[in-house]
Amino acid sequence: MSHDAENEMNYRLISILHIACALLIAALTSSTAAETAADVLKTLRHGHPRLLVLDADLARAKQAVENDPVARQWHERLLRDAEKMLKEKPIERKLIGPRLLDKSRTALHRISTLAGLYRLDGDRRFAERARKEMLTAAAFEDWNPKHFLDVAEMTNALAIGYDWLFGFLSAEDRATIRAAIVEKGLKQSLPVYEKQRWWSKCEHNWNQVCNGGMTVGALAIADEEPALAAQIVADGRASIVLAMKTFAPDGGWPEGPGYWNYATAYNVFYLAALKTALGTEFGLKNTPGFAETGLFRIHFTGPAGRTFNYADAGEKAGTAAQMLWFAREFNQTIYAGHERAMANSRPNILHLLWFDNLGRAPQDDDLSRAAIFRGVDVAFLRSAWGDSNAIFVGFKGGDNKANHSHLDLGSFVLDALGERWAFDLGGDDYNLPGYFGKHRWTYYRLRTESHNTLTLDGGNQDPRGAAPLVAFGSTPQRSFAVADMTAAYKSKTTRAHRGIALLDRKQVLVQDELEATQPVEVVWNFLTKAKIETNGDRATLTRGRAKLEARILSPAGAKFEVISANPPPPQHQQPDVHNLTVRLPAKTTQTRIAVLLSFAGAGAAPKLESLETWIAAGKLSPR
C-alpha cells in the first residue's frame, strides 16, 4: 500500500472515529437533556390550566363572589373593565423611547382579565377578545429583546392566556401562540442564561421579572417543548436566588416601594406558577426575609395611602395582588386585610382569583407603630394605625449605589392630618438623555438638593456613599432612628449624623450633627406643596385647613428661607413645590441643626440631647 493510500485510510478511520464520538456525545447530550427534562418536569401537571390558578381554586373565588360583598364589588368592577376592553383595539407594536413595555403590560392586563373572567363566568366574548389580543401580539416581528423586560412581560401575558384559554383556542391558535412564546420569548433568553449575562446575574427587579416571565412561559408549553422548558426552569431557578437573597434579613427592598411591587409581583408569578404546574417551588419561598416582605409594604404605606416613595417611585401605593398570595402561603392574615383595604375599587383579576376574606387591616394592638428594616436601612414611625389623620414618617439611610437610587441618604417624608407635608418628588422621565447613565446626577429630582436631607456647599452626596441606621427605639412616648451619613459627605465631613424622633405622637424632631474638616455651607431641605409663611426661625405651613408649625431649635441665628423646587424643562415641572430651607448664619466646621415640626396642641418644645445620647438609648449592632 502506498504511503498516500495509508494516510488516506488513517484519515478515514480517524474521521469515522470522530463521527462515532460525535454521535455518542450527541446521544449522551440528548439523553442528559431528556433526563433533565424528565427530572425537572417529572411532576408537571398534565393538561391545562396549570398556571397560577387551578380549576379547583375557582370554586373558592366563585363562592366569594356570591357571599362576600368585597369580592362581589371586585367582580362587578372587573366585568365593567372587560366590557370596555371589548371595544378597544388590540395593542400595536409602538415603542416609547427604547421600550415596548407599555404594550406588554397592556396585553398582560387585558389577557389575564378577559381570560380570568371567562374561566369564572363562561362569557365567550371575553375569551374571543383575549384570543384576538394574543394573536395580534404573536404576529409582532419581535417583542423588543433589546429591552428584555418587554419580552418577559409579553411572554407572561401570552403564557397565561395560552394556559387559561387552552380549551377555547383552536389547534391552529395554539400552534401560533405557542410558536410566538417559544421563538419571540423563551429562545431569546437562552444566550443570556448560557453566558450568564445582564439580568440573569443581577440582584434587582430585572432578575425577578425576566426569570418570572420566562418560567411562566416555559411551564405553559412544557408538554410540547420539554427540553427547552426544562432548561429554562433550571436556569431560572439558579438565577432568581440572586435577587431573592436581597429580601434578607427582614423583607426590605432597596429599590423603593414602586420596584418592591414590580419585583414581588413577578417573584410571585414565578413561585405560584411553579407550585401549580409542578407542585413545588423548590423551597424558594423560604428564602430569608421573603415571608416578611409583606410587612415592608404595610409599613411603607402611610395613613392616606401614600408611600415613602424613595428611589424612582411614585407616592401612590397602588395595589399588590401578591399580598393575597403571601397571606395564604405564609399564614399572614394581616397581609390580606391590608390589601383588601388598599385594592378597594381597583382590583386586578388575581385579587379576585386569589381572594382571601381572612384578617383585618393593621390595628394598634397587633402591629408596632414603629419599624426598622435593617437590610435596606429604612425606618417608619407613626402615631397610630387605622387613622387617616395619623402622623407618619418614613426615614432612610440606605445606599446610593442601590438600583434606581437617588442621592438621598437621610431623606424623609412626613404625613399628618390627611396631608403630605414633606415630599419625595420621585423619579423623572426615563427617556431623558443619560437618565440611567452619565447624566443621572445632573437631574434635579435625583440630586441631593431635591430631597429632604442636607446639602453641603450646594453639592451632591457621594454616589457611592451609604448611610447605615445606627440606632432605633420605640416606646409609646417616643420612637426614633439615627443614620450615620458620614460616608455621604466623606470629602467634607468627619462626622454627619441625622436623627428623627416622633414625640408623644404629636411632634417630629429632625436633628443633625456635623463636624467638618474645613468650613462648609450647610443647607437643610424640606420640599412641600404647602403654603409657607416664614418669620425668622419659625414657619407656618398650610394645606387646606391643616397647619404645620416649624421651629428651628438650633443653632441660634439660623433662619428659614423658601426657594423654588422647579428645575428647567425638559425635566418634570412642579411649580407648586417649594423648598423650605434652613440657612445657617455662616459656613461652619461644627454644628447641630434641630427643627421641630408640630401640629395644633402639640405642647412645648423638647429639651435637646446629643445624638450620641440617642444612639446610646437604641444602639444597633453592626450588620
Pairwise CA distance, residues 369 & 391, whole Å: 10
pLDDT on residue 38: 59
Question: How big is the chain by its Cα radius of gyration, in Å?
Answer: 28
Q: With a threshold of 0.85, does the pTM exceed it?
A: yes
Contact present, 148 and 198 (Cβ < 8 Å): yes
Q: What is the mean pLDDT of residues 206-211?
A: 98
Residue 615 has pLDDT above 90, yes or no: yes
Residue 10 has pLDDT above 80, yes or no: no
Residue 620 CB neighbour total at 10 angstroms = 17
3-state secondary structure of 307: strand
**How do residues 535-566 score in pLDDT, each as one tens digit?**
999 999 999 999 999 999 999 999 999 999 99
Pairwise CA distance, residues 234 & 157, whole Å: 21
Crossing angle for the helix pair 256-278 and 322-329, to the nearest 10 degrees: 60
What is the average pLDDT value for the chain, to the nearest integer?
93
**How do residues 242-271 score in pLDDT, each as one tens digit?**
999 999 999 999 999 999 999 999 999 999
pLDDT on residue 335: 96
Residue 258 backbone dihedrals phi, psi, to 5 degrees: -60, -45
**How do residues 443-477 score in pLDDT, each as one tens digit?**
999 999 999 999 999 999 999 999 999 999 999 99
**How do residues 282-316 score in pLDDT, each as one tens digit?**
999 999 999 999 999 999 999 999 999 999 999 99
pLDDT on residue 36: 54
Reported as a pLDDT band with limits 50, 70 and 90, residue 432 is very high
The grid coordinates of residue 73 equal 364589588
**CA dihedral over 59, 61, 67, 72, signed as positive or negative:** negative
pLDDT on residue 602: 76
Pairwise CA distance, residues 41 & 462, whole Å: 48
3-state secondary structure of 616: helix
Residue 2 has pLDDT above 70, yes or no: no
Instruction: Please choose, from the candidates 563, 559, 466, 455, the residue with its C-alpha nearest in 3D space to the C-alpha of residue 514.
Output: 455
CB-hemisphere CA count at 13 Å for 236? 33
pLDDT on residue 547: 96
Pairwise CA distance, residues 115 & 110, whole Å: 8
Pairwise CA distance, residues 362 & 384, whole Å: 10
Domain-wise residue ranges, the chain: 1-35, 41-353, 372-618
Contact present, 111 and 158 (Cβ < 8 Å): yes
Q: What is the mean pLDDT of residues 55-71?
A: 95
**How do residues 491-512 score in pLDDT, each as one tens digit?**
999 999 999 999 999 999 999 9
Residue 30 has pLDDT above 70, yes or no: no
pLDDT on residue 330: 97
Residue 14 has pLDDT above 70, yes or no: no
The CA angle 430-433-437, to the nearest 5 degrees, is 80
What CATH architecture applies to the domain 372-618?
Answer: Distorted Sandwich (2.70)
Which range (2-11, 342-351, 352-361, 425-434) has the least confidence?
Answer: 2-11
Residue 163 has pLDDT above 50, yes or no: yes
**How do residues 327-372 score in pLDDT, each as one tens digit?**
999 999 999 999 999 998 799 999 999 999 888 888 877 899 999 9
Q: Which CATH number fits domain 41-353: 1.10.1740.110, 1.50.10.100, 3.40.50.720, 3.20.20.70?
A: 1.50.10.100
Instruction: Please choose, from the candidates 390, 400, 394, the residue with its C-alpha nearest in 3D space to the C-alpha of residue 361.
Output: 390
**Dihedral (C-alpha) 49, 53, 58, 63: value to the nearest 10 degrees?**
-170
Pairwise CA distance, residues 558 & 552, whole Å: 7
Helices (H), 302-411: 322-329, 333-343, 349-353
Q: What share of the chain is helix, strand, coil (3-state, %, to 5)?
A: 45, 20, 35
